[in-house]
Amino acid sequence: MAADLSPIDKAKFVAAKRAVEFVEDGMKLGLGTGSTAAWMVRCLAERMREEGIRVTGVPTSSRTAELARQLGIPITTLDEAKWLDLTIDGADEFDGQLALIKGGGGALLQEKIVATASDQMIVITDPAKEVVQLGTFPLPIEVIPFGWQTTKALVEETLVSMDVLGRTATLRMNGDRAFITDEGNYIVDLHLQRIGNPRQLSLVINQIPGVVENGLFIDICDIVVIGHGNGRVEVRDINKGTSEEETIEFADTDNIFADLGD
Ligand code: 5RP
């Protein structure tokens, strides 16, 4: 079954499989959102089945909550868990300092709250998401529906004085309607092409009334696990300044593939 996976899915799978090796018995875990994070949830469920480890998950979206429930991973709320040992999540872009753009799946708000409430955040990714400078992937911002057009106009005006290349802002759609986040908000995607100063941009955008949060994750991610289609995995730890590599074999007996179908 593993042989049938596309190279990109193999890359996501091996990154996820390596990342869940960081999980220890009894941990409280933030469960990220997206296709790579879904592999992580499956790999986690497999470790729980095979090794009998027990964890409690705090999902970062209704989608992840549903997947965790299907796979028998106990979940709770952040308010109940209060503080987490580890969050494992995907990203849309990451740079050499492990600054991230997230929110491609529209879950950036819960993802940022959960990752910030964790001792450690691990990002799982494929190599295509590594960039020298953030900004090719549109930066999502979550905005309150009330007065969203005014908020969007204020954001565009603010961008004029920011170190960015593009300044177009678009409302994210779901068919012919606005995309609605789990918190009932809208997403406005900023097509910036290049973000010269992510830290400054993040602070300034969050000052605009109507903006709830932006998809820049700065000084939040500790480790990035980069999977490759041939099974090679790189683990870069920004705090230790280390980079290690190994190869993960695709075992056709992996029960995880029986869970596919979503
Ligand atoms: C969701 C996210 C995801 O982590 C990000 O979009 C990456 O998704 P994928 O693993 O499907 O490429 O931030 O809000």
Q: What is the DSSP string of 160-186?
A: TTSSBS--EEEE-EETTEE---TTS-E
Q: How many CB atoms are located within 10 Å of the residue 108 CB? A: 29
Closest Cα to residue 127, out of 204, 225, 54, 220?
Answer: 225
Q: 3: helix, coil or strand?
A: helix
Q: Are 183 and 122 within 8 A, CB to CB? A: no
Degrees (nearest 5) of the Cα angle 114, 35, 125? Answer: 75
Q: What is the pLDDT of residue 252?
A: 53
Q: What is the pLDDT of residue 251?
A: 72
Asked whether residue 75 falls in the same domain as residue 100, the answer is yes
Catalytic residue list contains 245: no
Asked whether residue 35 falls in the same domain as residue 163, the answer is no
pLDDT averages per 10-residue partition of the chain, 262 residues? 82 98 98 98 98 98 98 98 98 98 98 98 98 98 98 98 97 98 98 98 98 98 98 98 94 60 44
Q: Answer whether residue 172 is part of any domain.
A: yes
Q: Answer whether residue 133 is part of any domain.
A: no
Q: Answer whether residue 134 is part of any domain.
A: no
Q: How far is the CA of 204 from the centre of ligand 1 (A)?
A: 24
Q: Answer whether residue 82 is part of any domain.
A: yes
The model carries a pTM of 0.96
Q: Count how many domains the chain has.
A: 2
Alpha helices (H) in the chain, listed in sequence order: 7-19, 35-51, 62-70, 78-81, 108-116, 148-159, 198-206
Q: What is the pLDDT of residue 262?
A: 42
Q: What is the pLDDT of residue 250?
A: 77
β-strands 139-143, 118-125 pairing: unpaired
Q: Which atom of ligand 1 is nearest to the CA of 107?
A: 14
Q: What is the pLDDT of residue 261?
A: 45
Q: What is the pLDDT of residue 247?
A: 97
Q: What is the pLDDT of residue 253?
A: 46
Asked whether residue 208 falls in the same domain as residue 236, the answer is no
Give residue 68's domain range.
Answer: 2-127+219-257
Closest Cα to residue 225, out of 24, 51, 3, 20?
Answer: 20
Q: How far is the CA of 237 from the centre of ligand 1 (A)?
A: 20
Q: Answer whether residue 60 is part of any domain.
A: yes
Q: Whose CA is nearest to atom 10 of ligand 1?
A: 36
CATH classification at residue 83? 3.40.50.1360
Active-site hit among 46, 51, 93, 111:
111
Q: State the chain's maximal CA–CA distance in angstroms.
A: 55
Question: Looking at 177, 198, 213, which one is the last position of a domain?
Answer: 213
Measured CA to CA, the distance from residue 245 to residue 234 in angstroms comes to 4
Q: 1: helix, coil or strand?
A: coil
Q: Is 175 left (phi over 0), alpha (psi -120 to 50) or beta?
A: left
Asked whether residue 239 falls in the same domain as residue 168, the answer is no
Q: Which of 33, 221, 262 to mutate to test the pocket of ligand 1 (most atoms within 8 A of CB)?
A: 33
Q: What is the pLDDT of residue 249?
A: 87
Asked whether residue 160 falls in the same domain as residue 234, the answer is no
